[in-house]
Structure 1
C-alpha cells in the first residue's frame, strides 16, 4: 500500500511541476503606453491572455485619465483648479475622496518637513515654469509675491466633511510632487484587482512593480547617475522607486543652474544639483519623499526617513568643487543589486 501511495505522490508532484512550468512559460510579456499627465505612462503585464491584459491596461489608463481631470493644475476646469479659484473666499469646498487623500498626505509631509514639501506652492511653480520658457530668472519681488501666497498651514482640511479651504488670497495648489505617485498606486491597484500579479507601471521616472516576471528574482530597474556617474541596476518586487532631480528640466542663466524643483519655503528654484532615488512600499510615498528630499538635501533627507526600514534612499549631489558625491541609508546599501 505504501508503494502505491509513494507512486501516487510521485506522479502528483511531477504533474504539479509540469503544470507550473507550463503556466509560467505561457505567461507572455505585454507592454502598453499612453500619454497622460504630460508624460508617458507605461504598463507591463505578464499574462497568458493578451486580450485580458489589453483590457486591464486600458482600464488602468482610463483611471489615470480620470485622476488627471481631478488633479491637474494645467486644466482650468479640473477639480484642483476650481478649488484654487476659491482661495481667500472664506468658502470650503467638498472634494472627491481621491483629491482629499492626496492633499491629506501632502499636508502630513508638509508638517514633517516644516514646509519643504508644500502642495500650496502653485503660484511659485507657475512663476518658474514661465521663467524656463522665457529663459530668464524671475525678479526677486515676483518671487516674493508668489511665495507669500503659499503656506501649507493655510490649507484647511476637514476629514469628517471631506472639505478643503484655502485661507490665503491668490493661493494655488500644485500636486506635481505627489499626484503622479498616487496615480501609479491607483492604476496598480486596479490591475491587481483584475488578477494580474506580475505587473509594472511607470511614469516620469517613477516605477511601481508587483511580483517578479516569470523565473526572475525581480524586475531589473536602472537607476541613473548624476552627470557621468555609472548607471546602477537593482531588483524590485512589490514596491516602488521614485526619482527626483533636474537631469532634464532646468534653467541655466547667468552661469547658474536652476532646477524645476522649487523650495516652497523661499519660493526660489533649487540651485544645487541633486538626484534623489527613494524606494518605498507605495509610489505616492516614494514620489513625495523624493521631491521633499530634493529640497532639504542629503543630511536632512536621510534624517527624514530614519527609523523606517522599508524606505531606501540615495542622494547624489555636486559639491562646491563640482564633484559628484553620494549619500545613502543602510536600506539602500543592502538593496539587491543586479550582477552585471
Structure 2
C-alpha cells in the first residue's frame, strides 16, 4: 500500500510528513531501551527481511495482489520503537532507489506503514498475549492476529486521509468498503507470513524475540521437604557468548537474499490493493510520475533493464548496511547513557 505522489494534496502530505518526522524522532529516543549489541544486528536483519518480503506480491483476488507491510512482525521481533525505525529505513530505500512510493508521500507512507501498522500490530499482539498462556509459543498467534488487524486499520487511515485531502472527489463509503474489503484479504496473507516467520524465530532463539521477554516460567527447585523455591538466576541464553546469535543472523540473511534474489521473479504482477482500488474508483490518474522514475533501479530494475533479483539483492544489502549502522548507533547511545548513569550513582 505504497502511496504515490499526487493522491493527496500538499497540506495533507505536509501534515503526514510532520507526523512521520515526530514519530521517527520519538522512536530514535525510545529505541535506546530496546537496542543493544545483541539486538542491533537482529533489527537490521528484520528490516532487510521486510524489504525482501515486500517485493513478493501475492494474489488476493482476480487482478489484485497484496504484499507484507511488516509492522506487526517487526514490532514483535525487535520492539515497537525499533520497528518504526526498521520500516522507515525500508520505505526510505524504496522511495529513493526503487521509485516505490512517492517522495512527497514519504511521510504518508511512514505514517501508514511505518507507524500505524506497528502501533496497531503491537497493541493487538500485547492484548492477545494478555489472555494466552504465558509462554514464548503464545507470541506466534498474537503476532498473527496483530498483523491481521493492522492492515485493514492502515487502509482505513488512508481512507480518512483521502477524505480530508484526496485529489479526487468520490464517495467515502464506496472507498471505505473497497479498501477495507481488499485489505482484509491482504491482512490474512500478512497474518500467515507473520505467524510463520515469528514461529521460526521463536523455535530457534525465543530469547531474542522482544514480545517473548518475560514469558518463560521461572525455574524452581524442589527441596527435600517437597516445597518449591526459585532457582538461582541465570544469564539469558546467548547473553555472554559473543556471536551466539550468528547462526540466526546468517540463516535469516540467506533467506532474505533468496526471497529478494530468486522468489521475487515469481511475485504476482497484478496491482496491489491500493492501486487496484484507485483504478477501479477513478483516481489512479491523479498519481504523478516519481522524480526518480528514470533511475536504473526504478520499479526494481524494470526501467533500467536490471533483473528484479539483482535489484532485490542490492536493496537487501543497502537496507542491512543502513539498518545495522543506525541501530548500532542508537544502541551504543543507550549503552553510553547507562554507563554515565551508573558512574553518577556510584559517585
Identify whether the pair has TM-score above 0.5, normalized to the shorter chain.
no
Higher strand share: 1
Q: What band does the TM-score fall into relative to the shorter chain?
A: under 0.3
Higher helix share: 2
Task: Compare CA radii of gyration and give the structure with the larger one.
Answer: 1
Instruction: Give the TM-score of the pair, scaled to structure 1.
Output: 0.27
